[in-house]
Amino acid sequence: MSGNQPVPMSYEALAAVLRGMADLVEQGDSFEGSIEYTMPGPDTPHPEVEADVMVRAAFRIGNTMGQGGMRIIGTLGGAG
């Protein structure tokens, strides 16, 4: 596997990310992005870490200040 692999996260942390993304969109500061969250399963990367959900996301930030950048949540590269 390659690409952005999900990482363990608590419901509280996920909710904070969602609120932050919503704020950026409302301010016109994030032009595009995606987020995915799923239940942890037996083949989940990082089984040693207790998690409510597995999360991966990529969304643009800082666009009102110029070129901006991207926030990535997950592990880039191979699985786990």
Alpha-carbon distance of 49 to 56, in angstroms, equals 16
pLDDT digit string (tens) for the chain, length 80 residues: 467 889 999 999 999 999 999 999 999 998 899 999 999 877 776 667 778 999 999 999 988 888 889 999 998 765 44
H or E element that contains 12: helix 11-26
Where are the chain's structural domains?
4-76
Q: Can you give the pLDDT at residue 18?
A: 96
Alpha-carbon distance of 61 to 58, in angstroms, equals 10
Q: Can you give the pLDDT at residue 51?
A: 87
Contact between residue 31 and residue 63 where contact means Cβ atoms under 8 Å apart: yes
Alpha-carbon distance of 17 to 42, in angstroms, equals 25
Q: Can you give the pLDDT at residue 2?
A: 60
Alpha-carbon distance of 50 to 68, in angstroms, equals 33
